[in-house]
Amino acid sequence: MKYYTVLVAAILVIAALGLYAYYENMDVKKPDPGTHVYLGAVYDGSLKYANSISANVDFGGTANLNDDIYYVVLSIWDSNLSYDQIGISSLKGVFYSTYSYTEIVNGSIKYIFDPHWFPITPGNHSLSMYVSNGNVFFKFDKNTFAAFTGGNDFSISTNQKVGNHTFSGLTIYEEIYGFNNSFPGISFNFSNIQYGSPSSQGGAITNWAQFAHNLTNVSNRLGTYVYMKSNVVNIYNSLPLTLTVKVQNLTTSASLLVADFNFTIQGSGQYSLNLLKGNYTIYLQYGGRVNSYNVSLDSNKTYQISA
C-alpha cells in the first residue's frame, strides 16, 4: 500500500517555503515541530548525471528504538524533480524495506511511499535505483518496484533547486520522528556506493560531508557518529574506536581492505579507520599477493603489518 506523507524533507532552506507537503493516510506519527532530526552524509563533489545508483548496507546492533519510527535512506533527485529514495524503515521496532518518490501538484510536494514494502532482518543487503524512460526502478535485494516519475536521469549533486528554494541533493542519512534525545543502538554501514552512467563508465561516489538537521552540537554528546571514507558512509549510533594500520616495507601501491573499507594506499605509512568494537581481518593486496592479519579491536589500537 502506498502512503502520502513527509518521509524525506531534507531541507537546507526551510523558512518561508512556498512548497509544502501532503500528510494523508498516515499510519505513522506526524513529527512535532523541532523533533524531526536527520544525521548522515551529503554529496560534496562536482555535478554528475547518472542513470543508476547503488550501495550495500549492513546493519545490526544491540537495542532498537521499539517505541519510535525512523528511516535510513539513500536519496537522490531525478530530472523531473522527483526526490527518490530507497532504504530501511524501523516502525515500532520492526524493520522493513522502504521506497519513496515525489510529485509536485499545485505548488505542493506529494511524497508517495511505502513504509513497509516487505520485512527485513539485520545483516547485509543490496539496494539500488535505476531510471529509464520516465520510470524509476527501486530494488532492494531481489525485490523490485517501478514507479513513473517522468525522470530520465539522476543528479548527483550537493544541492537541488526546486522553484525558488534549495534542497539537499544526494544524501545518506537516518531520520528519526519524535526525537527524544535517543538514537537506536543499531549502526548502519553503507559501502560500495556507486553510480552508473549511459555516457561514461560511472564509478565510486567518494566525496562526502556530514549532513545534519535539528542536531546542532547534539550527535557526539549522545554517542552517535558519521564516518565517511572513500565510497563508504557509516552511521555509527555508538562512538567508534580508531584502528591505525602501520604498513612497512611496501614499495608499491596496494589495496588495503578492512571490514567494508577498500582503498588504495601508495606505499608504507600509517592509515587510520574508525570501526566499532569487534574482530576484524586486515587484507593487504599487492603484486598478485594477499597478506591477511587478524586483529581484535577493543580499544584504540595501532597494528603493524609488513609487505
pLDDT in tens, 241-289: 889 999 999 999 999 999 888 889 999 999 998 888 889 999 999 999 9
pLDDT band for 199, please (50, 70, 90 cuts). Answer: confident
CATH 2.60.120 domain extents, the chain? 3-236
Q: Quick check: helix, strand or coil at residue 118?
A: coil
CATH 2.60.40.1120 domain extents, the chain? 241-306
> Which amino acid belongs to residue 259?
A
For the domain made up of 241-306, the CATH class stated in words is: mainly beta
Rounded average pLDDT over 18-25: 39
Identify any residues that bridge with 175 across adjacent strands, giving them in sequence order.
38, 71
pTM above 0.85, yes or no: no
Give the C-alpha distances (Å, rounded to integers) separating 202 from 52, 54, 197, 199, 304.
9, 11, 5, 8, 35
Q: How far is 77 from 83, CA to CA, in rounded Å?
A: 4
For the domain made up of 3-236, the CATH class stated in words is: mainly beta
Pairwise pLDDT comparison (65 vs 4), residue with the higher score? 65
Question: Which region among 12-16, 152-156, 181-185 has the lowest average model confidence (pLDDT)?
Answer: 12-16
